Amino acid sequence: MDSQARVGSIDAIEAFRATLIRFAERSRRALDDVTGEVKRTRGWLESEQRQKWEGEYRRRARALEQAEQELFSARLSSLRQDKSVQQLAVKKARRALVEAEEKLAVLKRWRQAYDARVEALAKQLESLQETLSRQVPHGVVFLGNAVRHLQDYAGVSAAPRPAPSTATEERSEP
């Protein structure tokens, strides 16, 4: 059995360590972006869209009420015989109100589906974020220590040899 370890390339371990650090940084940034988008989308659904369509519903309900009042006034008035304009206005206002009701119902389904589908995925992202913030740094430290120990070992094992250039060649081998 050989009493010395053959270290082919300490530089490859160091390069892997550097790549791991860049990967962790980029991954953290990407996960932060995704987490931000998830929160913004939830806010958009829960606040902006809900407020928009609730306001639209109220506005359309007032428009329907006004159209019905105008139709009622036209029926009471003996001067106007043709009430078709007012009747069309009432129908149009009812359709608009129904559309707002449908939009609110769709929005409610979207919020429920969003919570059901996205929350499960967001939990997985949290797990990945935890891995990136806790385990990857330990791996980086481990690789740094391994490089240092291997460099120390290569320096010690190179001392007894007659030619000092051999240790340099072993370190630079691919």
pLDDT tens by residue, 124-166? 888 888 888 899 999 999 999 999 998 888 776 554 444 444 4
pLDDT in tens, 13-55: 899 999 999 999 999 999 999 989 988 988 898 889 999 999 9
| Domain chopping of the chain, boundaries | 10-172
- Please tell me the distance from the alpha carbon of residue 70 to that of residue 79, in angstroms, as a whole number: 14
- Please tell me the distance from the alpha carbon of residue 136 to that of residue 23, in angstroms, as a whole number: 10
